[in-house]
Amino acid sequence: MLNIKCPYCGNRAQKEFAYGGDGTVKRPELNKSVTDQEWNAFVYERKSPRGKHIELWHHISGCRQWFRAQRDTVSHEIFKTVKLDEEI
């Protein structure tokens, strides 16, 4: 079983976490008008990279905090996890 290091709690079993998607997607600024195309890209368009990828994870059965992880999508090795306000 894969272990994931929560930046708040430490190493825990993968079953305590939920995948939250691509960690590099930036939400459009609040109160700024965006085109339908820009909004569509924000909501639906995602890359499916092979190799290192930055992802959002949620420690749903633990501290319930969100964090970012750098994971290899082929080997599933997790290289680093950080709080959302930290650089990865």
Say which residue the tokens 């990865």 belong to: 88
- Pick from 2, 8, 46, 49: which binds Zn ion (CB under 5 A)? 8
Cα distances from 50 to residues 22, 71, 86, in angstroms, run: 13, 10, 24
Provide the terminal-to-terminal Cα distance of the chain, rounded to the nearest Å. 24
Residue span binding Zn ion (CB under 5 A) among the ranges 25-33, 35-43, 51-59, 73-81: 51-59
Minimum Å distance from CB 73 to Zn ion? 22
- Pick from 6, 23, 55, 71: which binds Zn ion (CB under 5 A)? 6
Distance CA 38, CA 19 (A): 24
- Pick from 24, 53, 60, 62: which binds Zn ion (CB under 5 A)? 62
